[in-house]
Amino acid sequence: MSSRHAPRAGGPAPREPVVARSGVAPETSRFHLGGPGCWTMGPLSRETWAQRLGAFRASPSAFMAGPEGEDLGRDLLNELRSEKLSEQTKVSLLALSLEYPAQLWPDAAAAEAAATSLLDTLVLLPPRPSALRRPLLLAATTALAAGDALGPTSGASRRLLPLLLGLASGRDLGRGFGPASEQRPLQATACECLRELESCKPGLLGGCLGLLRSLLGQEGPVQPLSLLLALALRNTLVIQARARAGLQGLLVAGDMPAAGGPWNWTLAEEADAHLQPQAPSWPAAEEEECGLAVLEPSPEEARELRAAVAQLLDTSYLLTPVAQAQLLWLLGWALRGLRGQPPVLFKPQLVRLLGTAQLTLLHAVLALKAAFGEALFTAQDEALLLRRLTLAAQHPALPLPAHLFYLHCLLNFPENCPLGPTGEETAPLLLGPRLCRGLLPSLLHDPSALLAHLHLLCLLCAEDEEKEEKGQDWCPRHYLGELLAGLRQRAALHGGPRALATLCFQASYLVVHCLATQPTVLTPLTHGLARLYRARPALAPHFVDLLDRVGPELGEPLRTALRQEVVSRPGRDEALRWHLQILSKVADGKAPSATLGFLRAAAAHCTDWGLQQALLQVCRALLRAGVGEGLADLLQALARQLEDPDGRDRARLYYILLAHLAGPKLGVALGPSLAAPALTSSLVAENQGFAAVLMVQEAPAPMRLSVGPRRAAGPVPVLQLQVEVLEPLYSVELRFRVEGQLYAPLGAVHVPCLLPGRPCRPLHLPLQPRRPAPAQLAVRALFATPAGLTCHAHLPPLPVNFADLFLPFPRAPDGDKQGFFEELWDSCLPEGAESRLWCPLGPQGLEALVARHLDPFVVVAQPPTSYHVAIRLPPASRLLLRLEAAQGDGVPVALRTDDWAVLPLAGDYLRGLSAAV
Amino acid sequence: MAQRAVWLISHEPGTPLCGTVRFSRRYPTVEKRARVFNGTSYVPIPEDGPFLKALLFELRLLDDDKDFVESRDSCSHINKTSVYGLLVGGGELWPVVAFLKNNMIYACVPLVEQTLSPRPPLISISGISQSFELLFGIQDFLHLGQKNDTELNTKLNQLPDLLLQACPFGTLLDANLQNSLDSINFASVTHPQKQPAWKVGTYKGKPQVSISITEKVKSMQYDKQDIADTWQVVGAVTCKCDLEGIMPNVTISLSLPTNGSPLQDILVHPCVTSLDSAILTSSSIDAMDDSAFSGPYKFPFTPPLESFNLCYYTSQVPVPPILGFYQMKEEEIQVKITVNLKLHESVKNNFEFCEARIPFYNRGPITHVEYKVSFGQLEVFREKSLLIWIIGQKFPKSMEISLSGTVTFGAKSHEKQPFDEICIGGTAYLKLHFKILDYTLTGCYADQHSVQVFASGKPKINTHRKLISSDYYIWNSKAPAPITYGSLLLVRCHN
């Protein structure tokens, strides 16, 4: 047993690092390495770790959910300092942390602590050679970058960045960093770490461009420095271009940040949260998408930039081919948006690159082609590139995946003057039939190779359409026909693998997709497919799939051909279930008597439930297609003769539907084709289908309802409702329910028809309040859709405001408005209530406020200073207001009502008036 | 341009899962960028188990293709490259670069630095070609000189350390993994200035240069009026330069005899520093004429330490080395065969080996053979339904040999006899296997005196040549045979 479960001496592990550190190498460390006082558990043996790592790798999620999951990250960090484990085991622990930091340290704080611990382990290594330094640097970098901990506030970042930059620049970091022999590999590793950090946080190294240039010019390792400089340069240009700033001497500033001094995060923060695509803007993507505004450097800056790029390109032959390719992508992208930076710098590299067979290099050349077009590739260059690409796509010395990728590149070739529609695969203009000869499909090809080459052939046939047999010595269409015939012959092979059948149908689909307008191709294809069905009806699922996916150009004639193929057979074929599957797909209103004849003959042989269901499925298709005559007889016969009661029930159901529903309703009722019934009762399955049609079903709200302007008149308050619909609705019924029984039940509102975009007059909803109080109305809508379904929907509740209930008093006798008002005023007391309050006025003043909100209720007015207002509140309350002696920002209001419950509502209303515009 | 993850999966048909993940490596910092770049279309890298299942399903390597499955078999599910979309965890993981080679599936997922919906064309994804290079690199490493499973396992165990060197953060630094292995071993050497990244150390010892030219000849012969026979030579020039100094310069010239066939479609190693435009443009796409560039073909380069392929070429020789016909007629449970082979007089009649394999597909085991050969011996592999005609080291003086006979078959049992989707009914072929040392069909050779080396000491120069057959088919002329477009075209042009 391992000692993992030994009691912990030091209690739960502290989450925070034990010692706060700064600088590269701490002079002191209070970390305990093993021993009885340590909070780690006893060290695990090599075997235990191997087992544990194995279990973790088998399924990280399962392991982390298990009992050991929680401790793994912490144990791993501790064990790195154990003196009992071999370096090799520790390397494998670090390898795990390189792959699964998110599982080991799931949040930024844990990642920061882990990076700190890894850095501590690094600086505490004894000065002899060690295999751990490199993976420790990689692990600390990974923990910070993947754990979202990289940033100016992270202590680990503030330690790691200067350390990496110091290593990368070959500075002597003291004996702590191992013997001299390790410096060179560590220098390269530090560059890689910096590059990864720069990739995750663009602009991080914007302040180090000058330094990197000078390192590259000295004895630094060429490849890591070149790639680092190219990436930092590209990112800086992008960020500065977006900020519409220049390079500001970044290319020449040579000093490195002072040790322990602050890191310059300015550019990284400017770019924050905007990782930029590295891909050069392919012709399809527009400049804005890449965020690369055109940058115009000063002549001085342009010269420095050119020098930097030339410096990188001149030594690029020292890089491995894949690294050269990266360099070209980065520099191509960097220079693309720059005015006054002719891409001619790349020219000397091109001839060398075009000769190689290296996939990444040729791909990078294509990227340059896409980025610079004619500015870098003359028409002659373009032709040469195309020839080399064509050659690479068929060169026998290259592997198939490379051929297929090159073929893809050919069909997406970034031409100088593209003619065709963008975004679609086309054969480039210069790629004539002669060039394509070696690229045509053959039955000996693998499936994906055959489809790729077939696509090219189809494109050539499409082009060839215009030339139409002008005595040419080659006829691609003829070859295409023979190829398809060969594919069908293989697909027809009984017992052959499904892949062959799939390939045949994929090829047919591709041909139809490209050559839908060419009857000379489609007619033989249709006949060939019908013959294929005759030879191997078991391919029915493929036929159904093909019919679902092709347009009418092939779909229509193929349906007819297949229907004829099936119905011309006697009904007792062993392939009956396939015939029925096909027929349920292709049966339509045409030639129903032959179809019905076949079904009648087949019925006797439908002995099991599955076959009966398949048969009824065809009947269903005929029902939907509106076939009536003859079908009723068949259904009746089936309802009597089928052995399975479920089948009989379903036949009877169809018969009843046919007898009772009119054609269009029947079509809707049966809805889109029922999938093969998965339940043992087809009736239940069918019912699920009709439930949709014959019952009311819930739908999302298809309309928007709102309360329009008030209409204070008449005996009761009436809400004016405004309706907008998103789709045509018929027989609309709106039902309202008042929450809390504040009003009498509300009647429904009916509208015969609502159409989108056509204004509808407002709907009137009379309210009968039982108490003068605001309320919420729950609203439901019932309606019919154009498809004939009846639906109901819940609409958002409608608010009824206090003011919506206001009604004016019947007109006062002409002469004595004042008297009328005073009478009402006096009548409120003693049962009622009285109050005084302050009604704030907005900038518009009292007159405007009254005109806007209270006009219908004013009994006596002495504009602009005094208004007497009388409001009737159904069912039997009154509210009287005196607004007098308005001041600059408000008006005192005297208020009386005969219903004390109204008082707080009135107060709220008045106080809210100035805000309500 | 970076990789999110890479896998090696051994394909094990017949086992419950049909495969095992032998190696996998994920790159979390790249994954983090993928999440940002892909936005709502981001699909995380699954764990090994679900990935294995989804990949084998998509590649049709599960043993369950009995039923039509729409997500795999639909006619619109068209794959024209080695790049796939896998349904995992409710999303579609794309692009997954994957291919099967020698029962090992190589797979990786490159970072796409934009949204994945709509899918951008592969050509615009910088990581795609890097994926291929990484997988090709691993494949080369695993299969270079590997002889058995133990060696494969040893190499698989080395992979984690190698990728830590060659691809520490998911961005590939060197596709040549052997180079990374050497760099681990060379780690203590202090590197001089301007050391190329593709050369981890320097050679110390006797200078020598080895050049070996291997030509493979393939052919499709039909013996029919309306279909032209085709043949092609594919050459590879392999070099190993043991020379002192950091950057020694070497120039190798390939020459042809006066009647030699011009080299075409030349692809060179990236270490070649410059190329004559005549070499760059000499192509099999163009019609051949007398003006074709016929060398000498000069390749100046700075060699890496290890053995490498300096260049590949193709060539169209005027006649195939061995011309033959094969006639096979079915008569109930037996077939009658007649084979005739003729070595062209210009070809060196001194083989390391030469044999004709005559397989019978989609039939039962061979129960009885009656035959007559004019030369060599016939071996019968009854269970495999295969005849091998061993011709040996030399053709007879007449240069022409023949075989005729009758083969009887037993009842077909599906497990043992091979299925073939091409050889249905009378469609059948025989395949020639031969090797001739110190000979090339084009006549191409590297003259010792034409090798220029700019390095200290005069190196010893070794040159080797050989011709081997590859895909050398002779189809039954009494039944339909699969043809390529070239076969149709040539006949029409000649008529």
User: pLDDT for A332-351, tens place per residue?
Assistant: 888 876 766 668 888 888 88
Q: What is the largest CA-CA distance in chain B?
A: 76
CA–CA dist B201, B37 (Å, integer)? 39
How far is residue A451's CA from residue A433's CA, in Å, rounded to a whole number? Answer: 18
- Count up the domains in chain B and report the number: 3
Which is more confident, A141 or A16? A141
Please report residues of B whose CB lies closer than 8 A to that of A498: 65-66, 68, 73
Q: Are residues B290 and B399 in the same domain?
A: no
Rg (CA), chain A: 41
| Range picked from A285-299, A337-351, A554-568 for highest mean pLDDT | A554-568
Instruction: Enumerate residues 6+ apart whose C-beta is below 8 A from B332.
Output: none
- For the cut 80, the answer to whether the pLDDT of residue A246 exceeds it is no
**Is residue A222 within 8 Å of residue B195, measured between CB atoms?**
yes
- Nearest-Cα distance to chain A for B357, in Å, is 19
Min mean pLDDT across A2-11, A668-677, A882-891 is at: A2-11
Angstrom distance (rounded) from CA A624 to CA A626: 5
| Domain identity same for B148 and B293 | no
> Is the pLDDT higher at A3 or at A185?
A185
CA separation (Å) from B444 to A36, B265, B292, B297, B357? 75, 15, 15, 10, 29
Question: Strand, coil or helix: what is B352?
Answer: coil
Return the pLDDT at B27: 97
Which chain B positions have a beta carbon within 8 Å of A148's beta carbon? 32
Q: How far is B398 from chain A (nearest CA, A)?
A: 33
In angstroms, the Cα distances linking A188 to A138, A162, A166, B42, B168 are 11, 15, 12, 32, 11
Q: Kindly report the number of other CB atoms within 10 A of residue B188's CB atom.
A: 12
d(CA A897, CA A903): 7
Kindly provide the b/e burial profile for residues A786-802, where b requires at least 16 CB atoms within 10 angstroms of the residue's own CB: eeebbbebebeebebbb
Got the DSSP string for B471-490? EEEEEBTTS-----HHHHHH
> pLDDT of A262-273, one tens digit each?
778 877 777 665
Is the Cβ–Cβ distance between A193 and A167 less than 8 Å?
no
**Whether B82 and B163 share a structural domain:** yes
Residue pair B381/B409 in contact (Cβ under 8 Å)? The answer is: no
Point out the residue among B2, B79, B132 whose CB comes nearest to the CB of A359: B132
Residue B196 included in any domain:
no
Q: Are B18 and B11 spatial neighbours (Cβ–Cβ below 8 Å)?
A: yes
Tell me, yes or no, whether B70 and B32 share the same domain.
yes
Is the separation of the CB atoms in A871 and A772 below 8 Å?
no
Domain A806-915 has CATH 3.40.1450.10: no
Q: Average of pLDDT values for A400-422?
A: 88
Q: Which residues pair with B105 in a beta bridge?
A: B9, B100
> Mean per-residue pLDDT for A445-462?
92
- Report the pLDDT value the prediction gives residue A287, as an integer from 0 to 100: 45
The answer to the question of residue B32 being in a domain is yes
Rounded to an integer, the average pLDDT of A528-534 is: 95
Q: Pick the closest to residue B370 from B424, B325, B343, B331 (CA basis).
A: B331
Q: How far is CA A768 from CA A718, A719, A775, B47, in A?
A: 9, 11, 12, 65
Is B168 close to A192, i.e. CB distance below 8 A?
yes
C-alpha to C-alpha distances, B204 to B142, B201, B245, B251, B305, nearest whole angstrom = 27, 10, 8, 21, 11
- Residue whose tokens read 């064509």: A390
On whether both B79 and B162 belong to a single domain, the answer is yes
Quick one: pLDDT band at residue A699, thresholds 50, 70, 90? confident
How far are the Cα atoms of A29, B326, B343, B420 from residue B473, in angstroms, in the given order? 74, 10, 15, 15
Interface contact B174-A320, CB threshold 8 A: yes
List chain B residues with pLDDT less than 50: 187-189, 492-495
Q: Which chain B residues have a beta carbon less than 8 Å from that of A408?
A: 80-81, 121-123
b/e code A311-325 from CB counts within 10 Å (16+ = b): ebbebbbbbbbbbbb
Q: Quick one: B314 and B326 in the same domain?
A: no
**Interchain pair B187, A185: CB under 8 A:** yes
Torsion sign over Cα A497, A498, A499, A503: positive
Residue of B7, B65, B123 to mutate when probing chain A, most A C-beta within 10 A:
B123
Beta bridge partners of A290: none
> What is the rounded average pLDDT of the residues A745-770?
86
Tokens representing A342 are 């002719």
Distance CA A197, CA A142 (A): 9
Q: Which residues contact A262 (CB under 8 A, 6 or more apart)?
A: none
Report cis status (omega within 30 of 0) of the bond before B270.
Answer: no
Minimum distance, in Å, between the CA of residue A881 and any CA atom of chain B: 59
**Does the distance separating the beta carbons of A275 and B197 come in below 8 Å?**
no
Residue A9 has a pLDDT of 39
Does residue B494 lie within any of the structural domains?
A: no
Q: How many alpha carbons fall within 13 Å on the CB side of residue A319? A: 27
Q: Which tens digit of pLDDT belongs to each residue from A137-155?
A: 999 999 999 999 998 889 9
B25, B80, B268: residue with CB nearest A452: B80
CA distance A372 to chain B (A): 14
One DSSP character per residue, B401-429 reads: EEEEEEEEE----TTTSPP-SS--TT--E
Name the packing angle between helices A180-200 and A133-146 (round to 10°): 10
B232 contacts on A by Cβ (under 8 Å):
396
C-alpha distances (whole Å) from A760 to each of A708, A717, A720, B474 are 13, 21, 12, 82
* Residue A658 near residue A623, CB atoms below 8 Å: yes
Give residue limits of the domains in chain A: 76-200, 204-275+292-341, 352-416, 474-568, 592-665, 697-802, 806-915
Q: Is residue B493 part of a domain?
A: no
Residue B386 lies in a domain: yes
Instruction: Give A280's pLDDT tier (boundaries 50, 70, 90).
Output: very low
- Regarding whether B70 and B171 lie in a shared domain, the answer is yes
CATH number, domain containing residue B456: 2.60.40.1170
Ranges A598-607, A885-894, B268-277, B341-350: which has the least confidence: A885-894
The answer to whether position B460 is within a domain reads yes
Q: What are phi and psi of B456, to 5 degrees?
A: -70, 140
Q: Which fold has domain A697-802?
A: Immunoglobulin-like (2.60.40)
Q: Do B106 and B156 reside in the same domain of the chain?
A: yes
CA distance linking residue B467 with residue B215, whole number of Å: 5
Which pLDDT does position A295 carry in this prediction?
A: 66
Q: Give the model confidence (pLDDT) of A624-672 as tens digits.
A: 888 878 899 999 999 998 888 888 888 998 888 888 877 666 776 676 5
- Do residues B300 and B374 share a domain? no
Grouping H, G, I as helix, E, B as strand and the rest as coil, residue A781 is strand
pLDDT beyond 80 at A217: yes
Token look-up 């046939």 returns A461
Structure tokens at A432: 């004539």
Question: For A822-858, what is each residue's pLDDT tens digit?
Answer: 888 888 887 888 888 888 887 778 888 888 888 888 8
Residue B486 in domain: no
Give Cα separations from A736 to A96, A236, A459, B102, B228 (angstroms): 64, 63, 62, 73, 85
Burial state string for B256-265 with b = 16 or more CB within 10 A and e = fewer than 16: beeebbbbbb
Of B132, B175, B273, nearest to A402 by CB-CB distance is B132
> For residue range A375-400, what is the model confidence (pLDDT) as tens digits?
889 999 999 999 999 999 999 999 99
Asked whether the predicted pLDDT for residue A687 surpasses 80, the reply is: no
Q: Residue B353: give the domain boundaries.
A: 322-437
CB contact under 8 A, B492 and A473: yes
Angle at A783 between CA A778 and CA A788, to 5 degrees: 155
Mean pLDDT of A186-201: 93
- The three-state secondary structure class of B379 is strand
- Mean pLDDT, rounded, for A101-114: 93
Beta-carbon pairs below 8 A across chains A and B: 339
A427, two tokens? 């054969």
Least confident of A6-10, A100-104, B384-388, B466-470: A6-10
Cα distance between residue A376 and residue A354, in whole Å: 14
Q: Which residues of B touch A315 (CB under 8 A)?
A: 194
Cα gap B273→A354, rounded to integer Å:
12
Asked whether the beta carbons of A251 and A301 are under 8 A apart, the reply is yes
| Cα–Cα nearest to A670, from A616, A730, A590, A724 | A616
Q: Does residue B355 share a domain with residue B423? A: yes
Q: How far is A664 from chain B (nearest CA, A)?
A: 32
DSSP code of residue A257: P
For residues A495 and B417, the answer to whether their CB atoms sit within 8 Å is no
When pLDDT is cut at 50, 70 and 90, the band that residue A434 belongs to is confident
Same domain, B308 and B362: no
How close A875 gets to chain B, by Cα (Å)? 56
Q: What is the pLDDT of residue A375?
A: 86
Mean pLDDT along residues A241-255? 69
Which of the two residues, A249 and A43, has the higher pLDDT score? A249
A765 φ, ψ (degrees, to nearest 5): -120, 100
**What torsion, rounded to 10 degrees, do the Cα atoms A592, A593, A596, A601 define?**
-150
| Inside any domain, residue B169 | yes
Searching chain A, which residue's CA lies closest to the CA of residue B303?
A318
Q: What is the CA radius of gyration of chain B?
A: 26
- Say which range, A191-195, A204-208, B41-45, B75-79, has the weakest mean pLDDT: A204-208
Residue B130: per-residue pLDDT: 96
Residue listed under structure tokens 């382990």: A121
Are residues B43 and B129 part of one domain? yes
